Amino acid sequence: MEGKPHSKLPDLGTTIFTEMTALANRHGALNLAQGFPDLPPPEGLVDAAVRALRGGVHQYAPMAGRPDLRDWICDHHQNRHGHLYSSENECTIGAGASSLLFAAIQAFVHSGDQVVVQSPAYDLYGPAVQLAGGHLREVPLLDASGEWNLDALLEACTPAVRMVILNTPHNPTGTACPAGFLEALAAHLEGTDTLVLSDEVYGPIVHDGRPEISLAACAGLRDRGLAFGSFGKLLQVTGWKIGWAVGPAALTAELRKVHQYDVFSTGAPLQAALAEFLPTDDGAQHLAGLAAMYQAKRDRLLDGLRGTAWQCTPAEGGFFQVLDASQLIDGDDGRWAREWTRTHGIATIPLSAFYAPPIPQVRLCFAKEDATLDAAVERLRHIASDHAG
Ligand code: PMP
Ligand code: GLN
């Protein structure tokens, strides 16, 4: 067969994250492209994982996830957001937040349905909606002054819309949902059947004293929505691929129908380790210090770049920083991000992967050891001086 036989996603290639990581590895470049920490996970967590493996936890975990880990997730939501989900029928553990976001989209989006997404968006949502036969309606995340654009979102949310997908703190822009935004959306959606998926994988990582915003805390959206979290982001274990979804029982039941035939059950010894470590003092301390740790890393990066031609608005949450290179290059950041990986030994994500037409901006992951950040600063300063000269 020629071409792309029977492809349901004929226009898709490999993700920009995979591409840039491969390029970084090929050229021995610092990889600030794909979003993963080079920081070790808490030692107590690793010890617990070894104990689980040595202790014989090798067989399937329950389909919805280990009950003790689900209990922790539900307590975590109650403590942070004041709402207690039932660990029995309102919480599901999957292979990263990705698998559950994907399952939720397959579970609820019917052929021909409209799904509203703020753009630029994490790259999973679009193909998942396409596979379900839905139509993606992209609205700009930010307005001209760089604020979250409520009007654009509300205008797109007509009663015919099946689903809205939100993400805060936001990947790739590093912005965070402003207070009151979810409540305004809730008021707008009243009387409709529109569902809301809230991708909160960077949830607690908010900077400069901002509040952590969650669908779980918004009474007007909670009944029509699922919120998604990821242990990978909270504990520097992205490779473990364990995440969760919480939401009302009726939505959770539908989500689990897909999850049980897709992932079914994931990482039993890793779930055991998480369930052991998270309730300990070390676990609580780790989570309590997470936002401050990442804010300090953001500041280290930005302090290092002060006075150069790289422009930026400091990230409000998460561990990505966008740098504007418009004083260095015109247009095609995709070409330059690849070029800088080869010539200056630093890999970034060109924001053009998310925008058409391309814009001269790159995304950096600052979830890195201070030494990595310092080396990155040096290379970025070289880029700036080479382009000025
Ligand atoms: N959503 C967003 C916005 C992300 O950045 C990521 C990170 N890869 C995910 C979902 C997926 O999380 P996980 O690794 O737990 O599948
Ligand atoms: N979430 C990660 C990022 O934004 C990428 C995960 C992946 O490679 N699919 O960099």
* Integer Cα distance of 94 and 64 in angstroms: 8
Rounded alpha-carbon distances, angstroms, from residue 176 to 159, 318, 330:
26, 8, 28
Residue 5 maps to a domain: no
C-beta separation of 115 from 133 below 8 A: no
Q: What pLDDT digit, counting tens, does each position of 306-320 carry?
A: 999 999 999 999 999
Q: For the packed helices 96-108 and 249-262, what is the interaxial angle rounded to 10 degrees?
A: 110
**Domains in the chain: how many in total?**
2
CATH for 162:
3.40.640.10
Asked if pLDDT for residue 13 goes beyond 90, the answer is no
Q: Which of 252, 279, 306 is the last residue of a domain?
A: 279
One domain for residues 275 and 330: no
Contacts of 78 (CB under 8 A, 6+ apart): 84, 85
Structure tokens at 153: 């979102």
Which residue's CA is minimally distant from atom 3 of ligand 2? 35
Phi and psi of 268, rounded to 5°? -55, -50
The predicted structure's pLDDT at residue 116: 98
Give CA 367 to chain center in angstroms. 13
Structure tokens at 133: 């036969």
One domain for residues 273 and 349: no
One domain for residues 113 and 259: yes
Secondary structure letter of residue 44 according to DSSP = H
Residue 336 maps to a domain: yes
* Whether the CB of 232 sits within 6 Å of ligand 1: yes
Looking at residue 20, its amino acid is M
* Whether the CB of 230 sits within 6 Å of ligand 1: yes
The predicted structure's pLDDT at residue 107: 98
Q: What pLDDT digit, counting tens, does each position of 118-163 carry?
A: 999 999 999 999 999 999 999 999 999 999 999 999 999 999 999 9
Residue-by-residue DSSP string for 240-281: G--EEEE--HHHHHHHHHHHHHHT-S--HHHHHHHHHHTTSH
CATH for 360:
3.90.1150.10
Q: What pLDDT digit, counting tens, does each position of 324-356 carry?
A: 999 998 877 888 999 999 999 999 999 988 876
HSE toward the beta carbon, residue 313, CA cutoff 13 A:
10
One domain for residues 254 and 310: no
Which residue's CA is minimally distant from atom 15 of ligand 1? 96
* Integer Cα distance of 198 and 215 in angstroms: 6
- pLDDT band, very low/low/confident/very high, at 177 (cuts 50, 70, 90): very high
Residue 1 maps to a domain: no
Residue 7 maps to a domain: no
Q: What pLDDT digit, counting tens, does each position of 215-231 carry?
A: 999 999 999 999 999 99
The predicted structure's pLDDT at residue 171: 96
C-beta separation of 137 from 117 below 8 A: yes
Q: Give the count of beta carbons closer than 10 Å to the beta carbon of residue 39.
A: 15
* Whether the CB of 35 sits within 6 Å of ligand 2: yes
One domain for residues 238 and 123: yes
Q: Rounded to the nearest whole angstrom, what is the distance from the C-alpha of residue 17 to the centroid of ligand 2? A: 6
One domain for residues 256 and 364: no
Using alpha carbons, select from 88, 10, 34 the residue that is nearest to residue 232. Answer: 34
Residue 111 maps to a domain: yes
Atom number, ligand 1, closest to the C-alpha of residue 170: 3
* Whether the CB of 171 sits within 6 Å of ligand 1: yes
Atom number, ligand 1, closest to the C-alpha of residue 243: 15
Q: Which ligand is nearest to the CA of 104?
A: 1
Name the average pLDDT for the chain: 96
One domain for residues 173 and 300: no
The predicted structure's pLDDT at residue 112: 98
- Which residue is associated with the tokens 């080479």? 386
Helix then strand then coil, % of the chain, to nearest 5? 45, 15, 40
Strand, helix or coil for residue 5: coil
Q: Which of 279, 303, 335 is the last residue of a domain?
A: 279
Residue 353 maps to a domain: yes
C-beta separation of 230 from 236 below 8 A: no
Q: Rounded to the nearest whole angstrom, what is the distance from the C-alpha of residue 122 to the centroid of ligand 2? A: 8
Residue that wins the pLDDT comparison between 48 and 5: 48
Q: What pLDDT digit, counting tens, does each position of 17-67 carry?
A: 999 999 999 999 999 999 999 999 999 999 999 999 999 999 999 999 999
One domain for residues 76 and 133: yes
One domain for residues 333 and 190: no
pTM over 0.85: yes
- Which residue is associated with the tokens 């300063």? 381
Q: Which of 228, 257, 279 is the last residue of a domain?
A: 279
What is the percentage of the chain residues whose pLDDT exceeds 70?
Answer: 99
Residue 9 maps to a domain: no
- pLDDT band, very low/low/confident/very high, at 1 (cuts 50, 70, 90): low
* Integer Cα distance of 188 and 173 in angstroms: 25
Which residue's CA is minimally distant from atom 7 of ligand 1? 35
One domain for residues 215 and 78: yes
> Computed over its alpha carbons, how large is the radius of gyration of the chain?
21
Residue that wins the pLDDT comparison between 138 and 2: 138
Length of the chain: 389
One domain for residues 383 and 255: no
Q: What pLDDT digit, counting tens, does each position of 354-387 carry?
A: 876 778 999 999 999 999 999 999 999 999 999 8
Regarding beta strands 161-167 and 114-119, do their DSSP bridges make them parallel or antiparallel, or are they unpaired? Answer: parallel
C-beta separation of 348 from 360 below 8 A: no
Residue 364 belongs to domain spanning:
16-35+284-388
* Whether the CB of 17 sits within 6 Å of ligand 2: yes
Residue 8 maps to a domain: no
For residues 280-298, give the mean pLDDT: 98
One domain for residues 163 and 133: yes
Structure tokens at 169: 């703190």
